[in-house]
Amino acid sequence: MSSESEVQGEVVGDRIQLTRGEAAKRPLIQRLNRIEGQVRGLRKMIEEDRYCLDEVQQINALTAALREVAMAIIAQHVTVGVRVAAESGASKSGASKSGASEAVAVDDVMRVLRAAMRFDG
């Protein structure tokens, strides 16, 4: 089972709530553990008065690593949001409720993408 299928979601209020299986959490946790190590390395560099450019390069590496975690989380959210919207739109019963779920899913995905654009900019 791929990690993408290990991520489920449902509409809760005005958002999509994700539930990740262990296979979907594992790569995120591994990346975060590596980032923790990079932060400890940066702290040590500062304590040892390392060259400023080296410290800034480490900060840039940390920023890039955090962006990659954010992109993985966004990819999971968008994948689930599209799935929820498609399932809501394809549902034959409860047309008004499924239409509402579809709209909520699309709105939530757009909210997450807008936040990502602010993060990157």
- The answer to whether residue 70 scores a pLDDT higher than 90 is yes
Higher pLDDT: 44 or 116? It is 44
CATH classification of 20-120, choosing from 3.40.50.2000, 3.30.420.40, 3.50.30.10, 1.20.58.1000? Answer: 1.20.58.1000
| Domain locations along the chain | 20-120
pLDDT-derived band at 79, boundaries 50, 70, 90: very high
Query: What's the mean pLDDT in 73-88?
Result: 90
Nearest-angstrom CA–CA distance, 11 and 113: 17
Instruction: Select from 82, 77, 64, 85 the least CA-distant residue to 114.
Output: 77
**CA angle at 31 for the pair 25 and 36, rounded to the nearest 5°:** 120
The pTM of the full predicted model, rounded to 2 decimals, is 0.81
Q: Is the pLDDT of residue 77 over 60?
A: yes
